Chain A
Amino acid sequence: MTARLSALRGAFLPIGLLIVWELASRAGLFSAVVLPPPSAVAVRWFNSLVPALPHDPASQSYLSWLFSGEMPHDAVASLGRVLAGFAIGVGLALPVGLLMGTSDRLYGLVNPLLQILRPIPPIAYIPLAIVWFGLGNPPALFLIALGTFFPVLVNTIAGVRQVDSIYIRAARNLGANPWTLFRRVILPAASPFVLAGMRIGIGTAFIVVIVAEMIAVSDGLGYRILEAREYMWSDKIIGGMLTIGVLGLLIDSAMSRLNDHLLRWHRGLER
């Protein structure tokens, strides 16, 4: 009852704003290019969501027809880039982080370089990424992987270094060799940190993909809102932004659910 009440209270402000915005636009307070009314955004958004052509069973399956609208196509393209770049970034950061966390010597060797490179935002690599990889997907994936790499790396190192020595002593007492120790004790003990890094990493990857799509490729949500600007389609820009927001929320809550499941043993999850 109280939950429903507070949800109602939470909805009050956004709905109120939408009404004021709609009324202000319709009254002609500002032009449709500067700020189109929400109803126009909604119509535009819905039109980009649904397939442009009627379903033709001969040429395509129902599912691919369902996703043939412009926006679903862009969303899938963006999501694919995020996942691919994320996989590359994690694939590189995880082994390096685990090694750096385990070996003090390697840590001492690599950490200074890491600290210099880490504060450079991935966006700053855009010119270099184009010089190195040209246009298309490669520079985009490079930037996304870069955005994923550092948060995962830093958290993995911290995770391995904070493993309580009592677990290591207990495992050695039970006969664990170094490899077993690493695989069954250090890795799971560091996993809360690693997963936290991944959650930050995929958030960064999602920011970077939008920017990367504005410069290097010809589909995806980032490309679409930049394209809409060329034609001054402000309703389409706002619709695209909404899609980006929804997709980001979905990615983050999926990641959060995965964390909760993988870390169900963790004391921090006690509520």
Chain B
Amino acid sequence: MTSSLAPARTAPATPSARPSSDAEITVTNARKVFGSGDRAVVALEDVTATIPEGQFVCLLGPSGCGKSTLLNAIAGFSPLSEGQIRIGARPVTEPGPDRGMVFQEYALFPWMTVEQNIRFGLDIKGVRRAEAEATVARIAATLGLSDFRSRFPKDLSGGMRQRVAIARILALDPPVMLMDEPFGALDALTRRTLQDELLRIWAEYRKTIVFVTHSIEEAIYLADRILVMTYRPGRLKRDITVTLPRPRDSASAEFNALKRELGGLVMEEQQRYTQAEMSGTAVD
């Protein structure tokens, strides 16, 4: 739709290695206002951040901190009011398969089988049949879905559905993966399994991942870097690099020290959220 995408891709602004520019996310002075007049809600205010290629970043904060708003803006679903987001050299103007999104509600197409869901993006891209089938088989095997390829989503558990959702975007091999509380609806054990699975995939495919969560433990377990956001307007409150070696032990002293520190930061914002909720101004 926007023809400006193609030239920008072939001629990156930075003359350095192309892959790094393709997968780096740059957010500059992002501001997002919902509604107008007295009803206007500032969801994002002056957010600036650079997420280098291959980094696993968690956006952490209570409800209403704008973490999903930021993710949706990166995905291209809802444009910023001010500021700019670039993937490599290209400004984000619309959704695209270079930024695969995993939704909390799975968003699988229920009328398609697992196989058809995974193939959907490849069909759109015009990938030849044999090649698409090979890719689907490989991705399905990676996520342990080989025996479920002819099932419909309604016949799968939540954990299996989320595997399909990840497989669906992985099939397109996007440089960036965006994940909106993907494991929020899963039970604790399934959740941990999928977290480990995601880390394995991330290590293998080296994607840039932006992962929204309100679970402090999940953020520490997964991320290279945690961006804590403030409650309305959503600003970056703290930028924390997690250096703990993987696999991380959630029972270790370092893990828990970090958990305590982040807990304090998030609770401050949670209290502001609660106050707003009590006074009736917290519109979600």
Contacts and interface: CB of A to CB of B under 8 A. Distances in A.
Interface stretch (A13-21, A112-120, A137-145, A170-178): A170-178
Interface of B: 1, 75, 77, 94-97, 99-101, 103, 105, 107-112, 120-121, 124-125, 152-154, 168-169, 172
A270 interface: yes
14 contacts: A166-B105, A167-B107, A167-B109, A169-B77, A169-B101, A172-B77, A173-B77, A173-B96, A173-B99, A174-B120, A174-B121, A175-B125, A184-B120, A264-B152
Contacts, number: 69
Given A174-B121, A175-B125, A270-B154, A188 B97 contact: no
A185 B112 CA distance: 10
B111 A175 contact: no
B107 A174 contact: no
Interface of A: 166-167, 169-177, 180, 184-185, 188-189, 191, 264-267, 270
B95 A188 contact: no
B107 A169 contact: yes
**Top 3 nearest A-B pairs by Cβ distance?**
A175-B97, A174-B121, A170-B107
A175 B121 contact: yes
Contacts of B97: 173-175
Contacts of B168: 174
B162 to A, nearest CB: 13
B124 A185 contact: no
Contacts of A167: 107, 109
Central interface residue in B75, B111, B153, by most chain A CB within 10 Å? B111
A180 B110 contact: no
B95 A169 contact: yes
Contacts of A175: 96-97, 121, 124-125, 172
A165 to B, nearest CB: 10
Given A174-B120, A175-B97, A265-B111, 18 more contacts: A166-B105, A166-B107, A170-B103, A171-B120, A172-B77, A173-B99, A173-B101, A175-B96, A175-B121, A175-B124, A175-B125, A177-B124, A184-B109, A188-B109, A191-B111, A264-B152, A265-B152, A266-B111
